[in-house]
Amino acid sequence: MARAWADISLEAVGANVRALCERVAPASVCAVVKADGYGHGAVPVARAALGAGATWLAVAQVPEATALRAGGIVAPVLLLSEPRPDEVDEALAARVDVTLHTDSLIAAVGRAAADRPDGSPPVQVHLKVDTGMHRVGAAPADMVALARQVLAHPELDLRAVWTHCAVADEPTRPETAMQLERYEACLTDLAAAGITVPLRHVANSAAALLHPASRYDLVRCGIAIYGIAPAPSLAVGLPLAPVVRLATEVSFVKPVAQGEGISYGHRFHTERDTVIATLPIGYADGVFRRLGELGQEVLIGGRRYPMVGAVTMDQIMVDVGPHAEVRAGDEAVLLGTQGDEQISPEDWAVRLGTISYEVVCAIGARVERRHLSS
């Protein structure tokens, strides 16, 4: 048996995608499955999302696209970042839509596309414009020249122009409107130059839910398809079904006297005679080391018990109190529901001062993913 496992509800993924499709229509939904589906398993999540109405998938790196194709996925896949020069051939072999925003990569992809056998379909190019995220992307003033460079290669097809929102999860801030204005100005410049943009996309999960003007033709939804609001404060009236349930079993139970130190550094001392349960999961599996010192709770027998002491690489300790009927072999839930209680990725994120994206992406490779269709 696995020492720890994550039950992934593909039914919940489908429900979330259907809700998103209804919310953003007539725009289409692109399910973002980078980072192995945010730690949930890219291929099973992709299948569930496509089956629920998503029409596109998106990944960050070429090997992620290759893994989707190896898993039998034939739907359009957008590569969200420029490939490295040594990855261009692999990207074309995976039949991805390629994001480009530099002269050098447009030239490299054009050469690679020209070297393919006669009759190969054109490579679909999505030009990325930096409207304010300032991570990657071309300056708006350079977009007409870049589009002309793409069109100069008969083996390339300019399918889309896109950008990415930086603060869409904070709806009162003005930057999203500013980014949309810059994006619209870019489209106007392209149209004035006689360049057609068949597909426009801007919105991530937060923008898709909170900024209807950003939806255009396609929305790129990541965190929302995994049942997590883009920010803890955003319920936005959209029912999102939890997708992941992270669990393990109690491996050892022992009485510990009052005043004894627990775990490395003895940063926690028992305040009374009590019982400590050990769970075979640790920071190597994605349970952040500080959660023990912050008192994050675990569910055992449908009740909440606090982690105590520092989380170690392979194990954590839980104070189940002097009278708890906890035994080795009992299920312990770190994320998800047990009985009437629930612990969410947002709960961890709030304690840690981070975002729920980091919580689910951190679930380690030793944790067995169990993909449940119902």
pLDDT 10s per residue in the chain (374 long)? 679 999 999 999 999 999 999 999 999 999 999 999 999 999 999 999 999 999 999 999 999 999 999 999 999 999 999 999 999 999 999 999 999 999 999 999 999 999 999 889 999 999 999 999 999 999 999 999 999 999 999 999 999 999 999 999 998 899 999 999 999 999 999 999 999 999 999 999 999 999 999 999 999 999 999 999 987 666 556 789 999 999 999 999 999 999 999 999 999 999 999 999 999 999 999 999 999 999 899 999 999 999 999 999 999 999 999 988 999 999 999 999 999 999 999 999 999 999 999 999 999 999 999 999 97
Q: Residues 187, 251: one domain?
A: no
Looking at 170, 196, 226, which one is the last position of a domain? Answer: 226
> Can you give the length of the chain in residues?
374
Q: Which residues of 310-328 are buried (b: 16+ CB within 10 A; e: fewer)?
A: bbbebbbbbbbeeebebee
139 and 197 within one domain: yes
193 domain-assigned: yes
CB 318 within 8 A of CB 352: no
Residue 235 in any domain: the answer is no
* Residue 344 three-state SS: coil
| Through-space distance between the first and last CA atoms of the chain, rounded to whole angstroms | 21
249 and 199 fall within a common domain: no
d(CA 43, CA 66): 11
The verdict on residue 239 lying in a domain is: no
Residues 6+ apart with CB under 8 A from 152: 110
As a whole number of angstroms, the distance between CA 9 and CA 317 comes to: 28
Catalytic annotation present for 305: no
Residues 222 and 281 in one domain: no
Element (H, E) at 148: helix 143-151
Residues 218 and 258 in one domain: no
21 assigned to some structural domain? yes
Residue type at position 149 = Q
The backbone torsions φ and ψ at residue 213, rounded to the nearest 5 degrees and listed phi first, read -65, -15
Kindly state whether residues 268 and 198 are assigned to the same domain. no
Do 183 and 77 lie in one domain? The reply is yes
Considering the domain architecture, whether residues 92 and 19 belong to the same structural domain is answered as: yes
The answer on 219 and 315 residing in a single domain is no
**List 128, 264, 305, 357, catalytic entry:** 264
Report which residue type is found at 76: P
Do 28 and 140 sit in the same domain of this protein? yes
Range of the domain at 321: 244-372
Taking the C-alpha atoms of residue 3 and residue 368, their distance in angstroms, rounded to an integer, is 8
On whether residue 120 sits in a domain, the answer given is yes
Q: Does the residue 127 lie in any domain?
A: yes
Query: Could you tell me how far CA 324 lies from the centroid of its own chain?
Result: 37
What does the pLDDT read at residue 235? 57
Burial tier of 140 (Cβ tally within 10 Å: 0-12, 13-18, 19+): middle
194/260 same-domain check: no
- In sequence order, what E strands does 270-330 have? 274-279, 297-300, 303-308, 316-319
CA distance 30 to 100: 18
Q: Quick check: is 233 in a domain?
A: no
CATH number at 349 reads 2.40.37.10
In Å, how far are 52, 110, 333 from 277, measured between CA atoms? 41, 60, 13
DSSP 140: G
- Model pLDDT, residue 171: 87
Count the domains in the chain: 2
**CA distance linking residue 153 with residue 125, whole number of Å:** 11
**DSSP codes, 151-177:** HT-TTEEEEEEE---SSTTSTTSSHHH
What is the reported pLDDT for 236? Answer: 56
Tell me whether residue 264 is one of the annotated catalytic residues: yes
Burial class (CB in 10 A: 0-12, 13-18, 19+), 268: buried
Domain stops at, among 226, 257, 289:
226
Show the tokens assigned to 115: 């070297």
d(CA 256, CA 270): 8
Q: What one-character-per-residue DSSP string does 55-83 give?
A: -EEEESSHHHHHHHHHTT--S-EEE-SPP
Please tell me the predicted confidence (pLDDT) of residue 233: 61
Question: Which one is catalytic: 34, 128, 216, 305?
Answer: 34
- The reply to whether 220 and 249 lie within a common domain is no
CATH number of residue 141's parent domain:
3.20.20.10
Pick the last residue of a domain from 226, 254, 272.
226
Q: Burial, 68: exposed, middle or buried (Cβ in 10 Å; 0-12, 13-18, 19+)? A: buried
Query: Looking at residue 182, what is its pLDDT?
Result: 98
Is the residue at 237 inside a domain? no
